[in-house]
Amino acid sequence: MLSLAREVNLLSYIPPVLHEIKEIVEIANVEKKPIEGTWQAIEDSLNNQFIVTANEEGVSRYERMLKMNVPATDTLETRRFRLLTRFQEQAPYTKTVLKQLLDTLLGEDHYTLNRDTANKTLSVKIELTVKGQFDAVFLLLERITPQNMILTVELRYNQHSKLAQYTHAQLSIYTHKSLREDVI
Ranges of each domain in the chain = 10-47, 88-181
Instruction: Kindly list the strands in the beta sheet with 121-127, ordered across the sheet, starting from the edge strand earlier in the chain.
Output: 111-116, 121-127, 150-156
Stretches in the chain below the pLDDT threshold 50:
none
Is there a contact between 83 and 51 (Cβ–Cβ < 8 Å)? yes
pTM, whole model, 2 decimals? 0.51
pLDDT in tens, 57-106: 999 999 999 888 888 888 899 899 889 888 877 666 778 888 888 888 88
